[in-house]
Chain A
Amino acid sequence: MTIRVLVAKVGLDGHDRGIKVVARLLRDAGMEVVYTGLFQTPEMVATAAIQEDVDVVGLSMLSGAHLTLAPLVVGALRDRGSDIPVVVGGIVPNNDIDDLREAGVVAVFGPGASAEQIVSIINSLVPQSL
């Protein structure tokens, strides 16, 4: 079964180089990628993730607002009864990773994470049906 990933930009951060590159790398790895565009709210992301029936939500955050916004996305998914895992990529200082994990983010990809690492972790998050 093909893994479906929603990649999203939440809030005001317009840096979209990373998200576009990662989206293409995920496609190269055989995944289906949905991108909803810039300036999304946590609610918009949660709704889209459920409607699109994705396996993983990936947030791209480069403005420093990750501690505020990533937990809101996790919360919005859980409020809607969804257990879709959320991963974060971008500029995240090491000291913030534990806080993000506590808030329910399952993986954080910092600058320099390789395509291989990203693909293998996303693969590991999705239970493979036979």
Chain B
Amino acid sequence: MTAESPYERWRRAFTAATTRQKSFTTMSGIPLEPVYGPPDGEFPGIYPYTRGAHASMYRSRLWTMRMFAGFGTATDTNTRFKEIIRSGGTGLSTAFDMPTLLGLDSDDPMALGEVGRCGVAIDSLADMRDLFADIDLATITTSMTINSPAAIMLALFIAQAEEAGVARDRLGGTLQNDILKEYQAQKEFVFPPRQSMRLVRDTMAFTAAAMPKWNSISVSGYHIREAGSTAAEELAFTLANGFAYVELAREAGLPVDAVAPRLSFFFNAHIDFFEEIAKYRAARRIWARWLKDHYGATDERSWQLRFHTQTAGVSLTAQQPENNIARTAIEALAGVLGGTQSLHTNSMDEALALPSEKAARIALRTQQIIAHETNVAHVADPLGGSWFVEELTDEMERRAEAIFGEIRGFGDGSMLEGCIRGIEENWFQGRIADSAYQLERLFNQGDRIVVGVNDFLEGNDEDDPSILRITNEDEAKQLVRLDQVRRDRDDSRVRDAIDRLIREAAQPEVNLMPALIDAAKAYVTVGEMMSAMAGVFGRYVEVPSL
């Protein structure tokens, strides 16, 4: 018996999939195939997945229009969430404020001026309950963009869902939980890298066992790119981090096929259209090859790289902010042509402030226009076979492989060790800063034009659009709320939960998730849980470098 060819396998998978329309044609009625290419070529949904993670791609289901939101108190953000759901958003994505991201309570002296400003303030189970009030967590998936306190936020989420009657195994969503890129780029770290990785291990093991619909890590290149890396560095650092988490799980005795299918990815969609598309195509192919060849994964889902995309915040300009609608539309289109599974489009006013409701709506409408008016989602990987895009895809892969070689070199063959040592020695941070500086020089020398910034300036003097103002009132409200929580809770239960957390944190082989869920239910605050762990783990201080 001859083995099925890739084409035959694709045909079978495509035929088995449901499609969201009976037929797919151009606007003028020309019938369209689900994918184009030679019969002996690559196909979407078939190893090595260059052409897409799934055989039927957007014919089965459009990407998830997942709009990132969060500001002020949990109640404010809950209102915005409901607005997103009403206007057709199909997933939620939570932005936390800086104190929460760094595991500080709102009344910590360092939190002054930051409470509720860049996202929502979450101090305890009481806030988590307000955040998801009247939202059915069994039917909508939720993404939480948090890293250092990711395990705590997962514990709070489970505690409030179970209180609302939704068991943990029914919860679908994603925890960002990608601590490596925090040290490399985003810089919201608390514990030293190795101690942080223990918490990542615990969340991976816990969700693999108890939460089959949960993505344990969203391995994120977005922030690496925003911090200034090139596209190839974004690709390579992100996948290297992904490999490091696979190795971490393996060291903890978790089979690769138990964890890899629950890793998802998060890439930037920057303004260089074709380079971005090549980056996504290369990412899928590299991941598939490494998981199969280096890590011995046999489950196809381990090979399939699925990713979320966000348009590039750094590409937005404060000057003539309406132009950002055009930039975002082009970037979003790259994400879709590159086969993203979900997409956040930035709002035109984000170089000035958090988005206003109107600006956020236009951003969502941009996705809806791409999805429903342009027909670009009818055919999988429409740029596959373009000599240019195929060559750029290959070049992205070559550059990424060269960088993997360097990182494994630091780790004496281990990607996990290489990533950690690269952080400890400021290698990633230095490369990102170098690339950011190179780009800035091109721009300062006028070799790179940004419309409204160094050319085409007419219109720059017009007034800013009305932007969202976060007042200090939200901070005051949150402080009152936190004070109330501290007064209403059972102090002896709090003490017991903290004692258990400290005890178990000191035992590296113990999974901390049960102790954290117990603490969440006892209304131990985020800051208290972090302090308890910091007493055992220590705190990380980055050596400043320019």
User: Assuming A65-B113, A67-B113, A110-B318, is B437 touching A24 (CB within 8 A)?
Assistant: yes
**Which of A30-38, A49-57, A77-85 faces chain B?**
A30-38
User: Assuming A12-B114, A114-B454, is B444 touching A25 (CB within 8 A)?
Assistant: yes
Q: Which of chain A's residues has its CB closest to B349's CB?
A: A93
Cβ of B237 to closest chain A Cβ, rounded Å: 15
> Does A24 contact B317, Cβ atoms closer than 8 Å?
no
Q: Which of chain A's residues has its CB closest to B318's CB?
A: A111
Of B317, B453, B464, B544, the most chain A CB neighbours within 10 A belong to B544
> Does A63 contact B351, Cβ atoms closer than 8 Å?
no
Complex: A63 Cα to B314 Cα, angstroms: 14
> Does B187 contact A38, Cβ atoms closer than 8 Å?
yes
User: Assuming A24-B437, A95-B464, is B117 touching A65 (CB within 8 A)?
Assistant: yes
User: Which residues of A sit under 8 angstroms from B98, Cβ to Cβ?
Assistant: 11-13, 63, 65
> Does B112 contact A68, Cβ atoms closer than 8 Å?
yes
Cβ of B179 to closest chain A Cβ, rounded Å: 13
Complex: A27 Cα to B433 Cα, angstroms: 15
User: Assuming A94-B464, A112-B318, is B188 touching A68 (CB within 8 A)?
Assistant: no
Q: Does B546 contact A (CB under 8 A)?
A: yes
Q: Which of chain A's residues has its CB closest to B446's CB?
A: A114
Q: Does A47 contact B (CB under 8 A)?
A: no
Q: Does B110 contact A (CB under 8 A)?
A: yes
Complex: A94 Cα to B541 Cα, angstroms: 34
Say which size band chain A's interface belongs to. Answer: 35 or more
> Does A21 contact B436, Cβ atoms closer than 8 Å?
yes
User: Which residues of B sit under 8 angstroms from A25, Cβ to Cβ?
Assistant: 440, 444
Interface residue SS majority, chain B: loop
> Does B352 contact A12, Cβ atoms closer than 8 Å?
no
> Does B114 contact A63, Cβ atoms closer than 8 Å?
yes
Number of interface residues of B (CB under 8 A): 46
Which of A24, A91, A111 makes the CB contact (< 8 A) with B546?
A: A24
Q: Does B258 contact A (CB under 8 A)?
A: no
Cβ of A6 to closest chain B Cβ, rounded Å: 12
> Does A114 contact B444, Cβ atoms closer than 8 Å?
yes
Q: Does A20 contact B (CB under 8 A)?
A: yes
Q: Does A121 contact B (CB under 8 A)?
A: no
Q: Does B220 contact A (CB under 8 A)?
A: no
User: Assuming A11-B114, A114-B454, A115-B444, is B353 touching A20 (CB within 8 A)?
Assistant: no
Please, what's the 1-or-0 string for A11-27, where 1 marks a CB less than 8 Å from any CB in chain B?
11111110011011101
> Does B544 contact A35, Cβ atoms closer than 8 Å?
yes
**Docked complex: B210-229 residues within 8 A CB-CB of A:** 226-228
Q: Does A123 contact B (CB under 8 A)?
A: no
User: Assuming A20-B436, A23-B546, A94-B464, is B187 touching A14 (CB within 8 A)?
Assistant: yes
User: Which residues of B sit under 8 angstroms from A35, Cβ to Cβ?
Assistant: 544-546
Cβ of B443 to closest chain A Cβ, rounded Å: 9
Q: Does A69 contact B (CB under 8 A)?
A: yes
Q: Does B254 contact A (CB under 8 A)?
A: no
User: Which residues of A sit under 8 angstroms from B436, Cβ to Cβ?
Assistant: 17, 20-21
> Does A63 contact B118, Cβ atoms closer than 8 Å?
yes
Cβ of A47 to closest chain B Cβ, rounded Å: 15
> Does B546 contact A33, Cβ atoms closer than 8 Å?
yes
Cβ of A50 to closest chain B Cβ, rounded Å: 18
User: Which residues of A sit under 8 angstroms from B453, Cβ to Cβ?
Assistant: 112
User: Assuming A64-B118, A114-B444, is B111 touching A12 (CB within 8 A)?
Assistant: yes
Which of B110, B117, B351, B546 makes the CB contact (< 8 A) with A64?
A: B117
> Does B226 contact A17, Cβ atoms closer than 8 Å?
yes
Complex: A41 Cα to B545 Cα, angstroms: 18
Q: Which of chain B's residues has its CB closest to A7's CB?
A: B546
Please, what's the 1-or-0 string for B452-493, where 1 marks a CB less than 8 Å from any CB in chain A?
111000000000100100101000000000000000000000
Cβ of A89 to closest chain B Cβ, rounded Å: 12
> Does B114 contact A65, Cβ atoms closer than 8 Å?
yes
> Does B440 contact A21, Cβ atoms closer than 8 Å?
yes
Which of A17, A39, A111 makes the CB contact (< 8 A) with B227?
A: A17
> Does B112 contact A111, Cβ atoms closer than 8 Å?
no
> Does B470 contact A12, Cβ atoms closer than 8 Å?
no
Which of B110, B112, B319 makes the CB contact (< 8 A) with A112?
A: B319
User: Assuming A14-B186, A14-B188, A63-B98, is B353 touching A91 (CB within 8 A)?
Assistant: yes
> Does B110 contact A39, Cβ atoms closer than 8 Å?
yes
Q: Does B104 contact A (CB under 8 A)?
A: yes
> Does B113 contact A68, Cβ atoms closer than 8 Å?
yes
Q: Which of chain A's residues has its CB closest to B314's CB?
A: A17
User: Which residues of A sit under 8 angstroms from B452, Cβ to Cβ?
Assistant: 112
Known: A14-B187, A35-B544, A91-B353. 8 other contacts (CB 8 A): A12-B102, A17-B433, A37-B542, A37-B543, A65-B117, A91-B351, A112-B318, A112-B319
B residues sitting closer than 8 Å to A (CB atoms) are: 98-99, 101-102, 104, 110-114, 117-118, 186-188, 226-228, 314, 317-319, 351-354, 432-433, 436-437, 440, 444, 450, 452-454, 464, 467, 470, 472, 541-546
A residues sitting closer than 8 Å to B (CB atoms) are: 11-17, 20-21, 23-25, 27, 33, 35-39, 41, 63-65, 67-69, 91, 93-95, 110-112, 114-116
The 8 closest A-B pairs by CB, nearest first: A68-B113, A14-B187, A37-B544, A65-B113, A12-B98, A111-B318, A112-B453, A64-B117
A-B contact pairs, 28 of them (CB 8 A): A12-B110, A12-B111, A13-B98, A13-B114, A15-B187, A16-B187, A20-B437, A21-B228, A24-B437, A24-B546, A25-B440, A27-B546, A33-B546, A35-B544, A36-B544, A39-B110, A63-B98, A63-B117, A64-B117, A68-B113, A91-B351, A91-B352, A93-B467, A95-B464, A110-B318, A111-B317, A112-B318, A114-B444
